[in-house]
Copies of this chain bind each other. A is one copy, B any other.
Amino acid sequence: MEVVKSPLEMQNIALNLKKAGKRIGFVPTMGYLHEGHLSLVRRAKQENDVVVVSIFVNPLQFGKNEDLDRYPRDFERDCSLCEREKVDYIFYPSASDMYPEDFKTYVEVKDLPDVLCGKFRPGHFRGVTTVVLKLFNIVQPDNAYFGEKDYQQLKIIQRMVKDLNVPVNVIGCPIVREPDGLAMSSRNKYLSEEERKSAVFISKALFQVKETFERGERDVNKLKDMGINILKQAPLIREIQYFEVVHPESLEPKEIAESSDVVAVAVYIGNTRLIDNIRL
């Protein structure tokens, strides 16, 4: 396994691999890897000749009062996890190499970021699409793997790739959960023992809503009320940013739920913002 820090060097490696006819699988991450990330890496290993994992906490996608400075980092541990999965390259650039002082270019998808997380994190998805396009240009993947936990992110990246004719296959992979249902996230590390207990209500609410849908309930207001009531049982959930049933592609809120709609939720537990979703 090779750790590459320079964007130019990584791009040269990638372009040479492509010339040699290798299929490149790419897993972009912000590090502090968990089983969710590793499930992406394993799928990438299966479907490609070479696997690149990027580890980059992208300042452009954090708001002013968000957790950029305290975002968990453990590069040594990430390396040994990647090594174990037989990752070929870790791309580990510096912020100043990714965004030199005279950096001025942004990639923006319209409309899709106006709902769900985008509504509460202005500029976040512009930061995501900009860095992902940069990473795609550097790593030159045939296939790129993203977790469905960040469902809106996945849809926005797929939209960008289609609109800009980027020759990358963007693959969404299922959410990986802890045994009690909590969706894996690097941010779970922020949670105290008591907060961790409240966090389980997030997936509990989603599972209950899905079950109720499967028993025949289609009224989104009723489904939402039910989910929100479950969240309210968690003593340390201090804010429910949204609990929505949305169309899986347009992300527009639904009134009548249909199969394959997405139930998406964001809550604050203490200072930790957690998101999750489930497909109906």
> Which positions in A face B, CB cutoff 8 Å?
7, 11, 15, 18-19, 21, 102-112, 129-130, 133-134, 137-138, 140, 159-160, 163-167
A105–B104 touching, CB < 8 Å:
no
Among A15, A104, A105, A107, the most chain B Cβ lie within 10 Å of the Cβ of: A105
Residues in chain B near residue A111, CB distance under 8 A: 104
B contact residues around A104 at 8 Å (CB): 109-112, 159, 163
Task: Write 5 A-B pairs (CB below 8 A) sorted by A numbering.
Answer: A103-B163, A105-B108, A107-B107, A107-B108, A134-B165
Report yes or no: A105 in contact with B160, Cβ–Cβ below 8 A: yes
Q: Do A137 and B166 form a contact, CB below 8 Å, given A105-B108, A106-B110, A107-B107? A: yes
Query: Given the complex of chains A and B, what is the CA–CA distance between A159 and B101 in angstroms?
Result: 12
When C-beta atoms are compared, the residue in chain B nearest to A113 turns out to be B104
Residues of B within 8 A of A110 (CB): 104-106
In the complex, what distance in Å separates the CA atom of A21 from the CA atom of B19? 7
How far, in whole Å, are A129 and B164 apart by their CA atoms in the complex? 11
